[in-house]
């Protein structure tokens, strides 16, 4: 019984998300040119773009599925894998790269046990790369969710990351 | 009506928010209230004041005192000392006052005004309040254009000003507008390129965050000149604050009847939609940007046809950079002659540079076209950090040129740099000191391009892949004797045959780094 | 007209002509890998760059229209060097196991490398072995051979409007795949094979049945029958160096006998049969006025297209099976009976200008004989290869005849192979079935030719029958959208009868045709079919003596219960996500 309840709860949450997605799609219905806007909103909702979401967006906006997938895989911003609760992004813009961004990334990969573009099994963290967040004066920079960390040292990095549950 | 004795500007941008600006602001407002100073002291949020890496920054006017690294714990003392007793709190005053936007070219016999055009209001007015923009002569230029000038006159004035695109290609703005105006078709578009993807560049972001109405006004004027009634701002998805502020500004402008139908009760109608980019460097190229606006993969188009005749949805389209458009209101308001008073004969106006790397005060500066690299680095950015030696600067973005010490006294403008086979690009200057490893630097540039190549054409897709393969090998001390020559060869093929500027321009960082540091780089291969 | 000089040779071409084609007029071939005469150039490969005096930089010849007074140079030392380097770049990323490649000797990249005299590749080998996509029963995709020229995606999205294949991911990771990278077999791909036909290299090819057919031929316990589609007789010659469109029916029969097929029959026979069934269906729908317009069902690419994108049109589809499948059923029933061969011993092979037929023969409902009706499908290319393997040169073959029972055909059947042919054949017989008289003029010109959508009106006993013909997925989509609109808004369509073929040009432009095809070749093949039609004694399906015998001895009459059981089919509603069956209709 307990399990069933949990299951229902999750399902209900998911259903709610899909209801919201329908509203988004309605807003952009039959407008292929608004694909990227719609995808932004959908990803905002789900945290990533699962297949079913892509299919619904394709149908709603009257764009072929292959085109939707082509657009999603073109842009850095869109993700087709579930995101962790916390989005860790290491800046690899030129300034950060030169000041050790690559080392930060390697350290993060090692500590979290995942590669850039992946999510930890417990979904606590996703690791990614960002190309310049305009914080070049603070290089090397790291972004966790909306928080910017500047002048990050490899030794301090894990401490910072661990603050995020 | 109360007389406000002091204005405290609190700089709100990604950097200061990270440093805790919100908490400082809250404490400040509370402290002022508890001291009973609410009527006398006004606290204003403003965009970036141009300095980064200084924590939370406050500026107290009229004194113009800059405080840096302010924490909530500092606030009671600061309020008591400065705002109550009128004694600036020395321990928090920034030693390097960020002159980046407030270029204090004190009237040293020069009669002309200070060269603050684009960043005139940034950090001074509250960007979230249209009234403050209007109080600073905002929307006067569009009013002037609509009531006293024909579209042709607006174009003529812009042409005469000598304004060229600030995004990198440096095409004369007035001519671009003229092409679009004369192109056949009833529906035309103004597109603002705010997809600032060039690593190390954040000038557009600060304009968007610090003075969004200026961009709106620039677009309005462009729309009127070209005969467009619809504008789009294609903005980087990562620029959350910029998007928020711009959308707020658009909303306010609509309320004031400055956007929408029958602007200022005349026949001209214009509206702006903000479109979020999704992270692709190539979308800074105007035709790729247009593809992306149409909801597609950002693959560049073949030119001709140029966007001015066949752009967004095959309609005549002007694509202008944020900084370009931000110049327009003042040109119309003060005239082309006034604008030509700045910069050089061949390259007029000012340029906003983002200066980063190993300098004492990295940040944003607006200087006249033709200012030397030496002045920018040593006068404005405080020189090389920790007293080290200048090695070189990467100017013009990732696909720019490395400039060595012999270029320090070269005038930085679009026309002049061309003569030295360099580019101004979007105005990014990455300064490197003596300790920087050039091979590593070049490696970073090449990796960046492999990642950002759109994959459409063979030379760029495979050329960048080969370049990365080679430089990685050299970097791992496994390079072969002819590896460096191969880099050059591939870069030249890419320059000659790549479909768009992304692949074509990679030759520049490669050839210039080898020009200055050929020995250093070649020493890494056996 | 534009006048200019190319390598100092004067040329005059219509305005808008690209430098690439203008140069050919001046007898200079500018090499290219991505552009194709039937497609819009995309400028991917860069190999065609040229120099133009007074214009800075190099220009892509494929997408630069020749300008008045230009002086163009196409083969300077610099250009030749750049081209070599570009092709070397492509080769650095390409699986260069040419000898074992399906396109060996037919590969545009291989030819270009040879033309440019490339003897080493200076760059790093970037090749990463990616898995070959074998998820589709019809088409194989080998990403290791792909040079990302974009022809297949352009064909799939613009010409066919199927949008199965697309350019995905970015930069160095760019690949051409179906959505979600899950393989063509799990996509909306209609198996038309236009991507295969347009691929310059060995990245796309048919799922081969050659080995299985050899096994059957070499198995003494099997009785292997073979049928050849109408279009194959005007295509197969090209596999042996003959001019496009050369009619080789008799030589084809002779060659097939020589490689060991036990009985050489002809799909044209069942094409006539299709007309009898479909024509009768048309006549009855014209009489009742229900289910109009009737839409043809011979093209398996079109069937899957319709099932995926237009399944509301299913009630309008003719239930008649395609000629291939009618033949398959009859081979293991009527033919087996008449010849006294156990049907389980029969292996039924078809030779088709088509890749979608490989999909069609494996559809679960195509087992009316109690067995899989058609066991193996060979494309024109595959049979060409088999004949060469067997040391047979088609040029040297005598003219022979097909075997009886399922071999005889009329001119109406042979024109099935080109767009408008099924329509014309059906009208010839429908007119007779309704009026009892023959059409005065047997040639129905308005439905011929390569125009996208063709329309005609035929007076059948006072009823003005309006017909339309579409070829290619894109044109089919346009026509179906129009019909849908009419049905929705007026309750009926202006058309009574519609022919749709999935490939441009019809079967002569099918996905199983020889490499290096283009629209000009397709047109010549079509003309040849009309020529054969004119040369035949019988030109109307209902005149075919063997068909008459079939009805007398076996089926009864067209649309009889037995016909329905054996020769008719039904359709499915398919998902626009993965092309899988959602519901039976």
DSSP for B305-317, please give it: SPTTTS-GGGS-E
Structure-block tokens of residue A9: 């709860």
User: Which residue(s) pair with C348 in the sheet?
Assistant: C225
For C429-442, the pLDDT digits (tens) are: 999 998 989 888 88
Q: Do B296 and A148 touch (CB under 8 A)?
A: no
How far is the C-alpha of B517 from the C-alpha of C242, rounded, in Å?
Answer: 62
Q: What's the confidence (pLDDT) of residue C17?
A: 96
Read off the CATH number of the domain in which B46 is found. 3.40.30.10
Q: Is residue A26 part of a domain?
A: yes
> Would you please indicate which residues of C are annotated as catalytic (active-site) residues?
278, 281, 298, 318, 357, 360, 365, 507
How far is the C-alpha of C176 from the C-alpha of C151, rounded, in Å?
Answer: 11
For C98-118, the pLDDT digits (tens) are: 999 999 999 999 999 999 999
Read off the CATH number of the domain in which A120 is found. 3.40.30.10
Q: What's the confidence (pLDDT) of residue B14?
A: 65
Contact C508, C526 (CB under 8 A): yes
**The domain boundary residue, chosen from B92, B109, B140:** B92
Mark whether B182 and B314 lie in a shared domain: yes
What are the counts of helices (DSSP H) followed by strands (DSSP E) for chain A?
7, 4
Mark whether B407 and B508 lie in a shared domain: no
Neighbours of chain B (3+ CB pairs under 8 A): A, C
Mark whether B231 and B145 lie in a shared domain: yes
Residue C381 pLDDT class (50, 70, 90 cuts): very high
Q: What's the confidence (pLDDT) of residue A103?
A: 86
Q: Is residue A115 part of a domain?
A: yes
Question: Which of C89, C92, C172 is the closest to B455 by Cβ?
Answer: C172
Structure-block tokens of residue B84: 């109550």
Q: Which fold has domain C211-584?
A: Rossmann fold (3.40.50)
For C216-246, the pLDDT digits (tens) are: 999 999 999 999 999 999 999 999 999 999 9
For C174-228, the pLDDT digits (tens) are: 999 999 999 999 999 999 999 999 999 999 999 999 999 999 999 999 999 999 9
Model confidence at C349: pLDDT above 60: yes
Q: Is residue B139 part of a domain?
A: yes
Mark whether A58 and A91 lie in a shared domain: no
Residue A1 pLDDT class (50, 70, 90 cuts): very low
How far is the C-alpha of A98 from the C-alpha of A95, rounded, in Å?
Answer: 5
Read off the CATH number of the domain in which B248 is found. 3.40.50.11540
Parallel, antiparallel, or unpaired for β C165-168 and C175-178?
Answer: antiparallel
Q: Which residue of A has its CA nearest to C171?
A: A74
- State the pTM of this model: 0.88
**The domain boundary residue, chosen from A74, A96, A125:** A74
CA Rg value for chain A: 18
Cis preceding-peptide flag for C123 (omega within 30 of 0): no
User: Which residue(s) pair with C6 in the sheet?
Assistant: C9, C72
Q: Do B278 and A36 touch (CB under 8 A)?
A: yes
Contact C1, C56 (CB under 8 A): no
Q: Do B493 and C85 touch (CB under 8 A)?
A: yes
Q: What's the confidence (pLDDT) of residue B62?
A: 65
Q: Identify which of B496, B224, A159 has the alpha carbon closest to the alpha carbon of residue C86.
A: B496
> What does the angle CA C215 – CA C220 – CA C224 come to, to the nearest 5 degrees?
65
Mutate which of C34, C51, C172 to disrupt the B interface (most B C-beta within 10 Å)? C172
How far is the C-alpha of B93 from the C-alpha of B100, rounded, in Å?
Answer: 16
Contact B394, A94 (CB under 8 A): yes
Residue C552 pLDDT class (50, 70, 90 cuts): very high
> What does the angle CA B39 – CA B42 – CA B43 come to, to the nearest 5 degrees?
140
CATH architecture assigned to C91-206? 2-Layer Sandwich (3.30)
Read off the CATH number of the domain in which B456 is found. 1.20.1440.230
Domain count, chain B: 4
Q: Is residue A114 part of a domain?
A: yes
What is the residue extent of each domain of chain C?
A: 2-75, 91-206, 211-584
CB-based contact, B176 to chain C, within 8 Å: no
Per the structure, the complete domain to which residue B364 belongs is given by 350-433
Round the average pLDDT of chain C to a whole number and report it: 95
Structure-block tokens of residue C542: 């209902």
Non-local (6+) Cβ contacts of A95 within 8 A are: A132, A136, A139, B199, B200, B356, B357, B430
Model confidence at C510: pLDDT above 80: yes
Q: Is residue A112 part of a domain?
A: yes
CB-based contact, A97 to chain B, within 8 Å: yes
Q: Do A66 and C577 touch (CB under 8 A)?
A: no
Query: Dihedral, CA atoms, C510, C511, C517, C523, nearest 10 degrees?
Result: 10
Length of chain C: 585
Residue A2 pLDDT class (50, 70, 90 cuts): very low
Q: Do C179 and A69 touch (CB under 8 A)?
A: yes
Q: Is residue B97 part of a domain?
A: no
Mark whether A61 and A101 lie in a shared domain: no
Mark whether B384 and B454 lie in a shared domain: no
Chain centroid to Cα C200, Å, comes to 17
Q: In chain B, which among 71-130 make CB contacts under 8 A with chain A?
A: none
How far is the C-alpha of B294 from the C-alpha of C156, rounded, in Å?
Answer: 20
How far is the C-alpha of C57 from the C-alpha of C62, rounded, in Å?
Answer: 15
For A109-161, the pLDDT digits (tens) are: 999 999 888 889 888 999 988 776 666 667 788 888 877 788 888 888 888 99
Domain count, chain A: 2
Q: Is residue B102 part of a domain?
A: no
CB pairs B-C closer than 8 Å: 89
How far is the C-alpha of A22 from the C-alpha of B285, rounded, in Å?
Answer: 34
How far is the C-alpha of C28 from the C-alpha of C344, rounded, in Å?
Answer: 58
How far is the C-alpha of C43 from the C-alpha of B162, rounded, in Å?
Answer: 35
Name chain B contacts of A41, Cβ cutoff 8 Å: none
CB-based contact, B447 to chain C, within 8 Å: no
Mark whether B218 and B302 lie in a shared domain: yes
**The domain boundary residue, chosen from A45, A74, A103:** A74
Name chain C contacts of A50, Cβ cutoff 8 Å: none
How far is the C-alpha of C509 from the C-alpha of C512, rounded, in Å?
Answer: 8
For A56-84, the pLDDT digits (tens) are: 999 999 999 999 999 999 998 898 888 88
Per the structure, the complete domain to which residue A138 belongs is given by 86-162
Q: Are C91-206 and C211-584 in the same CATH fold?
A: no
Q: Considering only the top CATH level, what class is C2-75? A: alpha beta
How far is the C-alpha of B156 from the C-alpha of B144, rounded, in Å?
Answer: 15
Q: What's the confidence (pLDDT) of residue C19?
A: 97
Mutate which of B241, B356, B426 to disrupt the A interface (most A C-beta within 10 Å)? B356
Q: Which residue of B has its CA nearest to C58?
A: B496
Rounded mean pLDDT for each run of 10 residues along chain B, 526 residues in total = 65 74 88 82 73 79 79 90 82 63 32 64 86 93 96 97 92 97 96 87 85 97 97 89 93 96 95 93 94 96 94 97 97 95 93 85 84 89 87 91 94 92 90 89 89 95 96 92 94 97 94 94 88
Q: Is residue B486 part of a domain?
A: yes
Burial group, residue C404, by CB count within 10 angstroms (0-12, 13-18, 19+):
middle
Mark whether B399 and B292 lie in a shared domain: no
Contact B73, B80 (CB under 8 A): no
**The domain boundary residue, chosen from A44, A74, A104:** A74
Query: Dihedral, CA atoms, C546, C552, C554, C558, nearest 10 degrees?
Result: 90
User: Which residue(s) pair with B356 in the sheet?
Assistant: B430
* Torsion C325-C326-C330-C333 (CA) sign: positive
**% of chain B residues with pLDDT over 90:** 61
Mutate which of A48, A79, A95 to disrupt the B interface (most B C-beta within 10 Å)? A95
Q: DSSP character for B343?
A: B
CB-based contact, C186 to chain A, within 8 Å: no
Q: Do A66 and C169 touch (CB under 8 A)?
A: no
Q: What's the confidence (pLDDT) of residue B50?
A: 62
Q: What is the ipTM of this complex?
A: 0.92
Model confidence at A10: pLDDT above 80: no
Q: Which residue of C has its CA nearest to A52?
A: C577
Q: Do A93 and B281 touch (CB under 8 A)?
A: no
Structure-block tokens of residue C531: 């020529």
Question: Which of B455, B463, B499 is the closest to C174 by Cβ?
Answer: B455
> What does the angle CA C330 – CA C332 – CA C333 come to, to the nearest 5 degrees?
60
Contact B189, B433 (CB under 8 A): no
How far is the C-alpha of C201 from the C-alpha of C416, rounded, in Å?
Answer: 30
Dump strand ranges (E) for B187-344.
189-194, 230-235, 271-276, 317-321
Q: Is residue A81 part of a domain?
A: no
Q: Is residue B106 part of a domain?
A: no
CB-based contact, A164 to chain B, within 8 Å: no
Mutate which of B303, B459, B486, B497 to disrupt the C interface (most C C-beta within 10 Å)? B497
How far is the C-alpha of B68 from the C-alpha of B144, rounded, in Å?
Answer: 40
Mark whether B311 and B388 lie in a shared domain: no
Q: Do A66 and C179 touch (CB under 8 A)?
A: yes
Q: What's the confidence (pLDDT) of residue A38?
A: 96
Question: Which of A98, A147, A148 is the closest to B444 by Cβ?
Answer: A98
């Amino acid at each position: 019984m307990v399990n069933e309840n949990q299951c229902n709860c999750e399902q209900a949450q998911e259903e709610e998300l899909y209801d919201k997605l329908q509203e988004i799609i309605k807003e952009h219905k039959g407008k292929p040119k608004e694909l990227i806007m719609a995808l932004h909103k959908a990803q905002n909702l789900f945290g990533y773009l699962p297949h079913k979401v892509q299919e619904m967006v394709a149908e709603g906006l009257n764009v072929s599925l292959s085109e939707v997938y082509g657009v999603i895989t073109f842009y850095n911003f869109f993700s087709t894998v579930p995101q962790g609760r916390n989005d860790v992004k290491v800046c690899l813009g030129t300034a950060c790269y030169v000041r050790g961004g690559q080392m930060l990334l390697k350290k993060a990969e090692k500590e979290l046990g995942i590669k850039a573009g992946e999510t930890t099994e417990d979904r606590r963290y996703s690791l990614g790369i960002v190309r310049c967040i305009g914080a070049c004066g603070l290089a090397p920079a790291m972004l966790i969710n909306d928080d910017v960390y500047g002048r990050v040292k490899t030794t301090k990095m894990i401490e910072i990351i661990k603050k995020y549950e | 009506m109360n007389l406000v004795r002091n204005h405290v500007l609190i700089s709100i941008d990604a950097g200061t928010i990270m440093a805790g600006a919100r908490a400082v602001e809250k404490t400040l407002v509370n402290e002022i209230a508890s001291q009973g100073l609410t009527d006398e002291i006004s606290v204003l949020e403003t965009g970036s004041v141009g300095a980064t890496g200084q924590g939370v920054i406050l500026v107290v006017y009229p004194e113009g005192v800059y405080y840096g690294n302010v924490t909530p714990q500092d606030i009671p003392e600061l309020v008591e000392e400065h705002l109550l007793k009128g004694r600036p709190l020395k321990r928090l005053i920034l030693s390097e006052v960020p002159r980046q936007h407030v270029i204090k070219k004190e009237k040293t016999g020069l009669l002309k005004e200070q060269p603050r055009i684009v960043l005139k209001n940034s950090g001074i007015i509250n960007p979230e309040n249209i009234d403050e923009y209007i109080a600073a002569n905002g929307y006067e230029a569009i009013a002037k254009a609509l009531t006293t000038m024909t579209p042709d006159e607006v174009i003529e004035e812009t042409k005469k000003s000598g304004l060229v695109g600030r995004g990198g290609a440096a095409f004369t703005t007035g001519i671009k507008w003229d092409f679009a105006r004369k192109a056949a078709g009833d529906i035309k578009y103004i597109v603002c390129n705010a997809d600032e993807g060039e690593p190390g560049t954040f000038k557009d972001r600060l304009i968007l965050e610090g003075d969004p109405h200026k961009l709106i006004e620039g677009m309005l004027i462009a729309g009127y000149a070209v005969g467009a009634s619809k504008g789009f701002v294609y903005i980087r998805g990562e620029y959350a604050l910029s998007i928020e502020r711009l959308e707020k500004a658009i909303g306010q402008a609509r309320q004031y009847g400055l956007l929408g139908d029958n602007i200022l009760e005349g026949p001209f109608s214009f509206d702006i939609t903000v479109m979020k980019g999704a992270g692709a460097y190539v979308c800074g190229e105007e035709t790729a940007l247009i593809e992306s606006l149409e909801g597609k993969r950002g693959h560049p188009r073949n030119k001709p046809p140029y966007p001015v005749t066949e752009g967004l949805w095959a309609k005549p389209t002007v694509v202008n950079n944020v900084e370009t458009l931000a110049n327009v209101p003042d040109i119309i308001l003060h005239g082309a002659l006034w604008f030509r008073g700045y910069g050089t004969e061949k390259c007029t106006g000012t340029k906003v540079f983002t200066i980063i790397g190993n300098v004492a005060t990295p940040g944003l500066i607006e200087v006249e076209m033709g200012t030397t690299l030496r002045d920018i680095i040593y006068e404005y950015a405080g020189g090389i950090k920790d007293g080290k030696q200048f090695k070189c600067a990467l100017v013009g973005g990732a696909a720019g040129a490395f400039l060595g010490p012999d270029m320090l006294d070269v005038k930085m403008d679009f026309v002049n740099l061309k003569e030295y086979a360099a580019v101004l690009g979007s105005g990014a200057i990455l300064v490197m000191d003596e300790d920087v490893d050039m091979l590593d630097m070049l490696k970073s540039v090449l990796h960046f391009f492999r990642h950002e190549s759109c994959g459409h054409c063979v030379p760029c897709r495979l050329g960048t892949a080969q370049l990365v393969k080679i430089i990685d090998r050299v970097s791992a001390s496994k390079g072969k004797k002819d590896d460096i020559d191969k880099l050059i060869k591939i870069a030249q093929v890419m320059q000659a045959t790549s479909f768009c500027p992304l692949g074509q321009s990679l030759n520049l960082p490669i050839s210039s780094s080898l020009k200055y540091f050929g020995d250093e780089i070649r020493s890494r291969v056996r | 007209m534009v006048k200019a000089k190319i390598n100092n040779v004067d040329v005059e071409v219509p305005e808008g002509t690209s430098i690439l084609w203008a140069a050919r007029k001046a007898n200079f071939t500018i090499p290219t890998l991505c552009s194709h005469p039937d497609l819009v150039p995309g400028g991917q490969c860069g190999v065609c760059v040229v120099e133009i005096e007074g214009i800075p930089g190099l220009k892509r010849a494929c997408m630069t229209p020749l300008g008045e007074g230009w002086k163009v140079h196409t083969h300077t030392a610099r250009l030749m060097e750049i081209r070599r380097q570009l092709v070397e770049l492509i080769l650095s990323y390409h699986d260069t196991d040419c000898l074992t490649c399906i396109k060996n000797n037919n590969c545009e990249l291989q030819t270009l490398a040879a033309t440019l005299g490339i003897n080493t590749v200076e760059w790093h080998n970037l090749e990463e072995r990616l898995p070959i996509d074998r998820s589709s029963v019809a088409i194989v995709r080998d990403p290791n051979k792909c040079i990302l020229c974009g022809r297949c995606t352009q064909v799939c999205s613009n010409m066919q409007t199927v949008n199965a294949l697309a350019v995905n991911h970015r930069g160095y990771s760019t690949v051409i795949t179906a959505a979600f990278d899950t393989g063509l077999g799990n996509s909306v791909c209609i198996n038309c094979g236009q991507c295969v036909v347009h691929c310059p290299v060995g990245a796309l090819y048919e799922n081969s049945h050659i080995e299985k057919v050899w096994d059957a031929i070499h198995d003494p316990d099997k009785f292997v029958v073979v049928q050849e589609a109408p279009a194959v007789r005007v295509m197969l010659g090209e596999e042996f160096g003959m001019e496009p469109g050369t009619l080789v029916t008799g030589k084809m029969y002779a060659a097939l006998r020589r490689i060991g097929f036990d009985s050489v029959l002809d799909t044209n026979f069942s094409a006539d049969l299709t007309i009898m069934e479909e024509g009768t269906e048309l006549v009855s729908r014209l009489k009742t006025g229900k289910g109009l317009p009737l839409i043809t069902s011979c093209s398996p690419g079109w069937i899957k297209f319709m099932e995926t994108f237009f399944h509301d049109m299913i009630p309008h589809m003719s239930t008649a099976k395609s000629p291939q499948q009618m033949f398959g059923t009859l081979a293991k029933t009527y033919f087996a009976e008449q010849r006294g061969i156990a049907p389980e011993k029969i292996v039924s092979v078809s030779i088709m200008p088509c890749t979608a037929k490989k999909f069609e023969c494996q559809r679960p409902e195509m087992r009316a004989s109690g067995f899989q009706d058609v066991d193996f499908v060979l494309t024109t290319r595959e049979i060409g290869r088999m004949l060469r393997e067997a040391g047979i040169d088609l040029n040297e073959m005598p003219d022979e005849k097909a075997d009886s029972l399922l071999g005889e055909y009329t001119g109406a059947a042979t024109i099935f192979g080109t767009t408008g042919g099924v329509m014309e054949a059906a009208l010839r017989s429908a007119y007779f079935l309704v009026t009892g008289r023959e059409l005065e003029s047997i040639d129905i010109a308005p439905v011929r030719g390569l125009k996208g959508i063709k329309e005609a009106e035929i007076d059948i006993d006072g009823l003005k029958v309006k017909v339309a013909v579409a070829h290619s997925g894109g044109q089919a989509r346009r026509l179906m959208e129009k019909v849908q609109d009419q049905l929705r808004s007026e309750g009926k369509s202006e058309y009574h009868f519609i022919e749709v073929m999935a490939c441009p040009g019809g079967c002569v432009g099918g996905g199983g045709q020889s490499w290096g095809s283009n629209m000009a070749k397709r047109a010549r093949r079509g003309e040849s079919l009309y020529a054969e039609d004119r040369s035949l004694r019988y030109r109307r399906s209902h005149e075919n003596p063997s068909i008459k015998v079939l009805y007398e001895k076996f089926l009864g009459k067209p649309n009889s219960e037995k016909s329905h059981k054996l020769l008719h089919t039904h359709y499915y509603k398919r998902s626009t996500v993965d092309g899988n069956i959602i519901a039976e209709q």
